[in-house]
Amino acid sequence: MVTWGALLHFLIILSLPLFSKSVYHEESSELKTEAGDLNLRCIDIERNALLKFSEGLIDPFGQLASWVGIDCCRWKGVHCRNQTGHVVKLNLRAVSYSSRLGGKISPSLLDLKYLKYLDLSMNDFQGIPIPDFFGSFERMRYLNLSCASFSGIVPPHLGNLSNLRYLDLLAYSNPYDYIGSNWVSDLNWVSGLTSLKYLDLGYINLSLETNWLQALNTLPSLSELYLYYCGLQNIPPSPLNLNFTSLSVLDLSYNHFNSLPQWLFNISSLATLRLSSCYMKPSISKAAWEDLCHLQALDLSYNEIAGDISDLIGALSRCSNHSIEMLKLWNSHMSGQLPESLGFLKNLRFLHLDENLITGPIPESIGKLSKLNYFGLAENQLNGTIPESVGKLTELTELCLYKNSWGGVLSQKHMEGLRKLEYFSVSSSNEAFSINLSDEWVPPFSLRFIEIDSYPLGPKFPTWLKTQKQLDSIILTNVSVSGTIPHWLKKLCPQIQRLDLSYNQLGGMLPDSLAFPGYTRVIVDFSFNRLSGQIPLWPNVTHLILANNLFSGSIPTNIGQVMLRLNILDLSGNLLNDSIPLSISDMVYLQRLDLSNNLLYGEIHEKWRNLQEIRVIDLSRNNLSGNIPNSICSMPNLFWLKLSSNSLSGELSSLKNCTSLSALDLGGNEFSGNIPQWIGESLLSLVVLSIRANMFYGNIPEKLCHLYNLHILDLADNNLSGSIPSCLDNFSSLSSWTPYSPYSHYSYWNYVFIPQMVLVVKGLPIMYTLTLYLVKAIDLSRNNLRGDIPEEITHLSTLGSLNLSWNQLTGKIPDSIGSLKQLEALDLSHNNLSGPIPLSLTSITSLSKLNVSYNNLSGKIPSTNQFQTFNDPSIYEGNPGLWGSPLQTPCLTINKGKVEGCEAKDYDNDEDDTLPYYISLVLGFGIGFWVVFGSLVMKRSWRHAYFRFLDRVADCLYIFIKLNMAHLQRMMSKE
């Protein structure tokens, strides 16, 4: 199981094959010389073999249309040997969506006795196994079956291909499927491939292979080895004898090693070593870095290396050959300062140190890295200056300096020589930092991407930006610009992929006719400004985020027809009124609709059936009335539905078929009736359920206890009666540790959801995003619940908040309440509970909020552990029998139930003070939602680094993106 986080990491941590001298080229050039003569003659038996093969294939787009006529040597993808006419090469790699083949692979191919080269990569064989007979091509030198949706067991028969030089079985098949290869293999068969130079087994599950190194050590000619995402668990601390004398590329990323053995650094032939995301927490001695002089590329990203960056760079700077060209330690817990010796790494082209703990300045010597192309220091703690020598980096195309604490000035001098700069980002949390770029400045570069945030550039837009005619991504958030959108910016819109001007003071109306390009993603975010007037209609935009402005009037009725491409529509927090336009149902690509916090009224219409892609709907905080329409459940992917704080009424039966729902918030409406039994039968995916502040009555149905995944249950503020069901301990997610987010199954390759929930903790809203799945709460307050607090509730060992206040509960607080070891907030106030405060409560060290006021509790208030910090007497008041600190009067005598001398002073507190919602779920949840590629764009340089430094998987993925883009464009043009 892979969390979305890991997924994202995976997407992002990509590296470059620039340094791999691929044997592939060798092979193909050799073959090229054999083909190409127009006077070739095709051999009959081979032509028939090809025809039979093509009959088995599914070729929906006519890729093999040229496979007719007598001379098969002229057929597309078929190459014959010049002198003999034998087919030697078959290249059917799919290069576009419409060239993907599927179907069966006929054994007739074996008649191609001279076949040396077979490439079926990127096709879609829909899970059929690799044919066993592939192991019988005696002359085969090149076999590429990567990314072609084969599955099953790798046939060991492949081990017979003793002439094979190149084998690519990268099992990653479809970015739109859930990650995970179903190819399983051991490595015993590999030892037969004695000529092998290139081996890629990425994504093949090798977790059962206990000695992968020994198996591969029999391949002395191996030059490139890719074993990423293979589930490898162990790496020998010290292999006896390594046969790898020509190994130049080793990629072991995304496995699960605990250590980083020194021998990996000692393979002297190695030029590229990739070990990112291997869960390593190595203790690397300073001396270990001294052995890296043979490396050109080193990637240790996403491991807890926790070294001092100056040790590593210092050691590399002492290598006389200056071989290092790429250094990637993204998110590796590196600390320390960048040393002056950085300047000696004169061949460095790619330096990626984002997301570490590096402090200090950038050394002056940076200016000597004349080949530096990518320089990433984002999200560190650099607190010194940016030297002007940065301006000498004439080859630099990307400079990522955001999220640091830069001091000093950034001026034109810093940018003087950056002729090739295309991607630039900077931000500083340090007020002492200033950006000093004059309005008259004409930069030497032409940027495509700029991001400056949280710096007061305004109130005007910087004039020099007008000179940047190639910009396609402009992110100027929280930079204090005001006024209307300038003319030059409007002129750039036809090339914009991302325009984010959120958190500024922009005002006025938006032009209704801005032209945006027909890219797959066009993201426009103007949220948190002062824009007013009508919602604009911009046809090509895919993500329109206008939240928290002053837009008014009705949502244009034709919005769905004009903005047909929308994936995300967020108009929340405006002054929009009238009803929800019917045409929204025409936005067939819509994934998230947020119209919350407006003045919308009328009924929720019935037309939801077309929205087959939608995941998230938030219509909360409006004046919507009427029932929930039945069609709301016709959206198969809907998992987050929020309708709270409206005037909706009726019963809930229309939600019965919404089986995909994970979160349902109906709080603050006028729903009534019993809580339906079927919620516990149909909505089994529910993680969050809130129906607070409605008019539900009757018992809490036992069936609710079947919602095993539930981790937030909020039934507060209704008229529920009866007792608290004792089966609440069925909520297994509340009684066990959930290592993974329950949302992880929404982490497809194309969509990453980041659910967010605002919880109000003592009056302060706190946004939970990634940790939302850790929030576990039950709120049954403000009902008429009677009877005891069931002992079973204390089995919910991971519960974080329990609120049972304002009911009529009786009996004692269960002694075992101390088993709620994770409890942070407990409110039992305003009930009729009696007996003492159980001493076991003092063992809950996480408890920070407690209220037991207005019960009939008695005895001494515990005074150990957390209780020492509960100094506010109001949390105990209204319990005549309770005494001890912090109540003013220690009560020693109780006389016929009447307490003497211990009246608490002040009984007429304002209700808000006694209102014990330390954690109030009423505000429910909003959702942040990103599309992976959107987020790559959003994450500034990632996108760029991502596309430019493609690794093997990225290569695959990139092609899939292209495939699907083409597909989408075709679909769009058809419409």
Ligand X SMILES: *[C@@H]1O[C@H](CO)[C@@H](O)[C@H](O)[C@H]1NC(C)=O
Q: Is 426 or 638 the residue whose CB approaches ligand X more closely?
A: 426
**Across the strands, what pairs with 434?**
409
Q: Is 383 in the site for ligand X (CB under 6 A)?
A: yes
Which positions from 388 to 427 touch ligand X by CB under 6 A, shown as an x/- string?
-------------------x--------------------
Residue 56 neighbours by CB distance under 10 Å: 13
Q: Which of 25, 29, 33, 905 binds ligand X (CB under 6 A)?
A: 33
Instruction: Tell me whether residue 245 or residue 865 sits nearer to ligand X (CB atom).
Output: 245
CA distance 549 to 566: 20
**CA atoms of 406 and 410, how far apart (whole Å):** 9
Interface residue with ligand X, options 82, 561, 637, 699 (CB under 6 A): 82
End-to-end CA distance of the chain: 39
Shortest distance (Å) from residue 384 CB to ligand X: 5
- What is the C-alpha to C-alpha distance for residues 697 and 49, in angstroms, rounded to an integer? 74
37 interacts with ligand X by CB under 6 A: yes
* Binding status of residue 384 toward ligand X by CB under 6 A: yes
Residue 195 binds ligand X (CB under 6 A):
no
> Are 585 and 611 within 8 A, CB to CB?
yes
Residue whose CB is less far from ligand X, 384 or 928: 384
Q: Dihedral (C-alpha) 726, 727, 730, 735: value to the nearest 10 degrees?
A: 0
Q: How far is the CB of 333 from ligand X (least distance, A)?
A: 16
**In whole angstroms, how close is the CB of 116 to ligand X at the nearest point?**
15
**Which residue lies nearer to ligand X by CB, 127 or 220?**
220
Which one among 3, 98, 174, 243 touches ligand X, defined by CB under 6 A? 243
The answer to whether 218 contacts ligand X (rule: CB under 6 A) is yes
Stretch that binds ligand X, among 213-221, 297-305, 343-351, 458-466 (CB under 6 A): 213-221
Q: How far is CA 275 from CA 303, 357, 731, in A?
A: 8, 20, 40
Rank residues 359 and 654 by Cβ distance to ligand X and give the closer one. 359
Which residue lies nearer to ligand X by CB, 144 or 337? 337
* DSSP structure class, residue 709: T
Q: b/e string for 795-821 if b means 16 or more Cβ within 10 A?
A: bbbbbbbbbbbbbebeeebbeebbbbe
Segment lying near ligand X (by CB under 6 A), choices 31-39, 350-358, 389-397, 835-843: 31-39
What type of residue is 801?
S
CB 583 within 8 A of CB 607: no
- Torsion sign (Cα): 617, 618, 624, 626: positive
What one-character-per-residue DSSP string does 47-104 give?
HHHHHHHHHHEE-TT-TTTT--SS-GGGSTTEEE-TTT--EEEEE----SGGG--EE-
Question: Using CA atoms in the order 582, 588, 594, 598, what is the torsion angle rounded to 10 degrees?
Answer: -20
Q: What is the 3-state secondary structure (H, E, C) of 274-293?
A: ECCCCCCCCCCCHHHHHHCC
The partner residues of 250 in beta bridges, in order of sequence, read 225, 273
Does position 269 bind ligand X by CB under 6 A?
Answer: no
Nearer to ligand X, 407 or 884 (CB): 407
CB-wise, 65 or 242, nearer to ligand X? 242
Count of C-beta atoms within a 10 Å radius of residue 599? 13
Contact between 217 and ligand X (CB under 6 A)? yes
152 lies in the site for ligand X, by CB under 6 A: no
| Smallest separation, CB 811 to ligand X (Å) | 55
| Six-digit token string for 60 | 């929906």
Give the whole-angstrom CA distance, residue 676 versus residue 25: 66
Is residue 428 at the binding interface for ligand X, with CB under 6 A as the rule? no
Residue with tokens 């020598």: 389
Which residue in 262, 359, 552, 625 binds ligand X (CB under 6 A)?
Answer: 359
Single out the residue of 25, 38, 237, 241 in contact with ligand X (rule: CB under 6 A): 241
The residue among 36 and 152 lying less far from ligand X, judged by its C-beta, is: 36
Under rule CB under 6 A, residue 431 binds ligand X: no
What letter represents residue 295's amino acid?
L
Is there binding between residue 83 and ligand X (CB under 6 A)?
A: yes
Choose between 175 and 336: whose C-beta lies nearer to ligand X. Answer: 336
Shortest spacing between CB 628 and ligand X, in angstroms? 54
Nearer to ligand X, 358 or 945 (CB): 358
- In one-letter notation, the amino acid at residue 397 is T
Which span sits near ligand X by CB under 6 A: 29-37, 584-592, 668-676, 863-871?
A: 29-37
Choose one: 217-225, 579-587, 677-685, 733-741; the region binding ligand X (CB under 6 A). 217-225
Minimum CB distance to ligand X, residue 187 (Å):
13
In sign, the C-alpha dihedral spanning 201, 203, 206, 212 is positive
Distance of CA 207 to the CA centre of its chain: 25
706: its two tokens: 């079947």
Task: Please state the closest distance from residue 362 (CB atom) to ligand X, in A.
Answer: 12
Q: By CB under 6 A, which span of 163-171, 214-222, 321-329, 868-876 interacts with ligand X?
A: 214-222
* Residues that contact ligand X, how many (by CB under 6 A): 14
- Residue pair 526/545 in contact (Cβ under 8 Å)? The answer is yes
Indicate whether 625 belongs to the interface with ligand X (CB under 6 A): no
Instruction: Assess 220 for contact with ligand X (CB under 6 A).
Output: yes
Catalog residues that contact ligand X under the rule CB under 6 A. 33, 36-37, 82-83, 217-218, 220, 241, 243, 359, 383-384, 407
